[in-house]
Structure 1
Amino acid sequence: MLTSLQNPLVKQLRKLHRAKERREQQLFLLEGTHLVEEACAVGLPLLTVCCTEAWQAQHAQLWQQLQARSQRLELVSPEVVRAIATTVEPDGIVASAERIYSEPLALNNFGLVLETIQDPGNLGTMIRTAAAAGAEGILLSADSVDLDNPKVLRASAGQWFRLPMGISSSLKTDILDAKKQGMQIIATVPTATQTYWEVDFKKPSLILMGNEGAGLSPQLNALADAHVTIPVSPGVESLNVAIAAALMLYEAKRQRSR
């Protein structure tokens, strides 16, 4: 059993808290039973799995699965798990895996495009919501928060493994390509005269959402075929970007279900 916080493996896994290290090692962390279960369910190979004896005893069946699909399994002390994890009270298991989302992503029916999203909780929530609403994927600008930030994975509630996602080197180019394929581009603007429920989401559609503070850049906003507003009561400046995305996605789902 590993008990020392100075163990080389422990030090290496702790480095994955930082985006720079995740990029250099080309690895990311999975924290908690639910994320490990979801990774196993989709067949994601795990490199290293660290868990406590108590966790192993409580999850004998999952432990057997991990023995078959992990390169290295280590029993560790609760103190080591707490050191490796980014959560305050981890549930007893942390794993590492290779980064997997760098492939380009083509959206041709119903998708979400995100520009310069900085809050990992917002991104994780939008991943979860997009999956629930039936979106075919999310395209993210390269200057957004890392997709494999631990908080993003946790906020996605496991949908991170199931929803196609891609990092775009040029959102403008990708959006123009989508327009050529007949997709309509929809952006939210507070001054728009059309509400979001007046758009015909039955058409192939891309929903654009921008940075939490600055919104969409003028460059991307200019590409939209339809500008819509989400009405709010007087005195309310705007909605959280994840909430706004949820309203748009579910209006699209409502229309597409009719």
Structure 2
Amino acid sequence: MLTSIQNPLVKEIRKLHSSKGRREQQLFLLEGTHLLEEACAAKHLLETVCCTPEWLDRHGKLWEQIGSLADRTELVSEKVLESIATTVQPDGIIATAPRTATAPAEISTLGIALETIQDPGNLGAIVRTAAAANADGLLLSADSADFDHPKVLRASAGAWFKLPVAVTPDLTAAVSGYKNRGMQILATVAGASLTYWEVDLRVPTLIVLGNEGSGLSPELKSLADRQIQIPLSRNVESLNVSIASALILYEAQRQRSQSM
């Protein structure tokens, strides 16, 4: 059992707390039982998995599944686990997994495109909502928060493994490609003349949302077939981008359920 926080493995895992470390090692962190359950369900390959003896006593069956996916498994002390965790009170297990090239998000009926989303909590919440609302996939600009940031994974509550996502260096070109295939492009813009419930969301639609502070770039706005807004009280400036995405996605679900 590993008991020293000076152990070379412990030091290498701690580097994954930073974007630079994840990029250099081409690995990311999975923290907590629920994320490991979802990783196993998705048959996602793991590199190193560390758990405490107390965790192992409670989750023997899950540990067997993890063993079939992991290159290395280690028992560690509570002190070691706390040193490699990004959370204050880890629940007993942490894993590293290889970064993989993101496959194109095959969007045919409903999707989300996100430009320069900076808050990993927002990004994870959007992933969770998009998966729950039966979106086909998500396009993410490369200048957004890391898609495999620990906070993104936690905020997604396991939906990270269920929603196809493509990280693209040229989001405008990617959105333009969907437009050329006949998909309706909707841009969320404060002050737009249409509310989100006034457009037909039953047709194949890509919803484009922008940065938390500055919104969408002029290039993406110009691609939109329609610009839409979420009405707000006069004394409220804006909604959180994850809430905005949820409202529009579920309006799409409402319209589509009524047309069945």
Q: TM-score, normalised by structure 2?
A: 0.97
Q: CA deviation at 1:64?
A: 1.4
**Aligned residue number for residue 8 of structure 1:** 8
Give me the whole-angstrom Cα distance separating, in 1, the residues matched to 2:252 and 2:25.
39
Deviation track 1:123-151 (CA, whole Å, cap 9, x = no partner) reads 00000000001100010000000000000
Give the AA of the match of 2:33: T
Give the AA of the match of 1:31: E
Matches within 5 A, 1:182-201: 182-201=182-201
Residue 127 (1) aligns with residue 144 (2): no
Q: Percent identity?
A: 61
**Aligned residue number for residue 29 of structure 1:** 29
Partners of 2:188 and 2:209 within 8 A in 1 = yes
Give me the whole-angstrom Cα distance separating, in 2, the residues matched to 1:121 and 1:196.
24
Query: For 1:16, what is the secondary structure of its paired residue?
Result: helix
**Aligned residue number for residue 102 of structure 2:** 102
Deviating more after overlay: 31-40 vs 103-112 = 103-112
**Aligned residue number for residue 160 of structure 2:** 160
**Aligned residue number for residue 171 of structure 2:** 171
Give the AA of the match of 1:84: I
Give me the whole-angstrom Cα distance separating, in 1, the residues matched to 2:159 and 2:194.
32
**Aligned residue number for residue 113 of structure 1:** 113
Give the AA of the match of 1:88: V
Query: For 2:95, what is the secondary structure of its paired residue?
Result: strand
Residue 88 (1) aligns with residue 88 (2): yes
Deviation track 1:26-49 (CA, whole Å, cap 9, x = no partner) reads 110000000000000010111110
Q: CA deviation at 1:102?
A: 2.6
Give me the whole-angstrom Cα distance separating, in 1, the residues matched to 2:73 and 2:106.
36
Query: For 2:140, what is the secondary structure of its paired residue?
Result: strand
**Aligned residue number for residue 236 of structure 1:** 236
**Aligned residue number for residue 17 of structure 2:** 17
Give me the whole-angstrom Cα distance separating, in 1, the residues matched to 2:102 and 2:226.
30
Deviating more after overlay: 95-104 vs 57-66 = 95-104
Partners of 1:108 and 1:181 within 8 A in 2 = no
Give the AA of the match of 1:28: F
Q: CA deviation at 1:101?
A: 4.5
Give the AA of the match of 1:219: E
Deviating more after overlay: 53-62 vs 97-106 = 97-106
Q: Which stretches in structure 2 are left out of the alignment for 5+ residues?
A: none
Q: Which stretches in structure 1 are left out of the alignment for 5+ residues?
A: none
